Amino acid sequence: MKSILKIAICVLLAGTASADLTDDVRCREIGFSQSVENQDIDAFRSFIDADARFVGPAVRKGVDEVAEAWSVFFAAGGPTIKWRPQVVEVLENGTLALSRGPYRSTSVDEDGNSIERWGTFNSVWRLNDDGEWRVVFDAGGPAASEPDVETKALIDAENDC
């Protein structure tokens, strides 16, 4: 009987640890977006793993290259971007995680018209030796179609992290 109780406790604790890690990664992803929303380049850099690879039109490697490529979002009057995770999955060993969800980028064209673009991001997070989750791989692409109401609401929702 004691062994069954021990197994049940281990299963319960493993589920709790997994949920906690998933929530940690979800909050890190939201914080990562908020660093850009608040145009805080130092905070933005703190979310990027030293070995990071951000894949876009070109592959950017490391914190400095990624920050340089993203500098347009930190420039006064530049485009804005905001994203939120819809899916977060953490490996059982708790060292890698995937987050995926919508992003919205807004810019102004030469005629002063606001242009809104939607897409999907994918981030792979690694738990570092200092206990912090940092993005090690990141990629995104345009949305295949106009996002549904639920997806749009996710971007504008208040967050509880």
**Residue 135 class from Cβ within 10 Å (0-12 exposed, 13-18 middle, 19+ buried)?**
buried
**Cα separation of 97 and 92, whole Å?**
10
Q: What is the pLDDT of residue 96?
A: 98
CATH architecture assigned to 2-156: Roll (3.10)
Q: What is the pLDDT of residue 5?
A: 35
Q: Please list the ranges in the chain whose pLDDT falls under 70.
A: 1-17
Are β-strands 48-55 and 133-142 bridged in parallel, bridged antiparallel, or unpaired? parallel
pTM: 0.85
Per-domain boundaries in the chain: 2-156
Q: What is the pLDDT of residue 17?
A: 53
Mean pLDDT of the residues in the chain: 89
Q: What is the pLDDT of residue 30?
A: 97
Q: What percent of the chain stands above pLDDT 90?
A: 79
> DSSP string covering the chain, please?
-HHHHHHHHHHHHHHHHHHHHHHHHHHHHHHHHHHHHTT-HHHHHHTEEEEEEEESSSEEEHHHHHHHHTGGGGSTT--EEEE--SEEEE-TTSSEEEEEEEEEEEEE-TTS-EEEEEEEEEEEEEE-TTS-EEEEEEEEEE-SSPPPHHHHHHHHS----
Q: What angle do CA 109, 67, 49 make, to 5 degrees?
A: 140
